[in-house]
Amino acid sequence: MTARRNRTRSPARKRALLEPKPLILVVCEGEKTEPSYFSSFKSHYKISRITIRTVPGAGVPLSVVSKARDLKNSADKAAATNLDENLKYDAVWAVFDVDEHPELKTAIQLARDNRIELAISNPCFELWLLLHHRDQPGIKHRHAVQKLLKKVMGEYDKGVDFASYALGYKQAVRRAELLGDCDLARCEPGPNPSTEVYRLTKSILGDP
């Protein structure tokens, strides 16, 4: 009869606990272009922990940042009340255009004071979309940038499906990185043309 082996059973290996991915809030001024881009971007990369909010009507930078601050403060209060840090946003972003909006400096200062990240496009968000398909066009008014985008995309009705931009995403990031960023110290947006939307998309994807 074969003797039984006297061996100690090793404990079962525990599964490594995965760190939850950052919870990101994105607040936009646009009612269609920006939210549809970020919604389809979110779906394309299958990222669930992104909340997208818009400012009703013709939002301006100050109203976008103010709403971002209010939502951030509300989440912080809920986390404190429920003793649950997971209710807080890990990052809050305000997305808006330079365009001809008033009180840009006030909006940037308010964002600084409340630790809100900024994704500013000068002159408009359509510049970021255009960079998915071609190099930056030089100094342009927003209407000129929108016309260039229509030439590239054909029937452009301000709705955005990221599938039409996905192939050019990495080129858009590289092109945007070559342009100037917001000067936070002086509360000034980047030059025309420039867009910091790449900073937000890289943050969403966890790119360094």
Q: Does residue 55 fall inside a structural domain?
A: yes
Q: Does residue 194 fall inside a structural domain?
A: yes
Q: Does residue 104 fall inside a structural domain?
A: yes
Q: What is the pLDDT of residue 138?
A: 96
SS (H, E, C) 99-144: CCCCCHHHHHHHHHHCCCEEEEEECCCHHHHHCCCCCCCCCCCHHH
Q: Does residue 14 fall inside a structural domain?
A: no
Q: How many domains does the chain have?
A: 1
Q: What is the pLDDT of residue 7?
A: 43
Nearest to 77 by CA among 31, 62, 49, 69: 69
C-alpha distance from residue 11 to each of 4, 14, 44 (Å): 20, 9, 40
Whether the predicted model's global pTM rises above the 0.75 cut: yes
Q: Does residue 80 fall inside a structural domain?
A: yes
Q: Which domain holds residue 64?
A: 24-156+166-205
Q: What is the pLDDT of residue 45?
A: 96
Query: What does the pLDDT look like over 80-111, one tens digit per residue?
Result: 999 999 999 999 999 999 988 889 999 999 99
Please identify every stretch of the chain with a pLDDT value under 50, giving residue numbers as ranges.
1-17
Q: Does residue 53 fall inside a structural domain?
A: yes
Q: Does residue 114 fall inside a structural domain?
A: yes
Q: Does residue 84 fall inside a structural domain?
A: yes
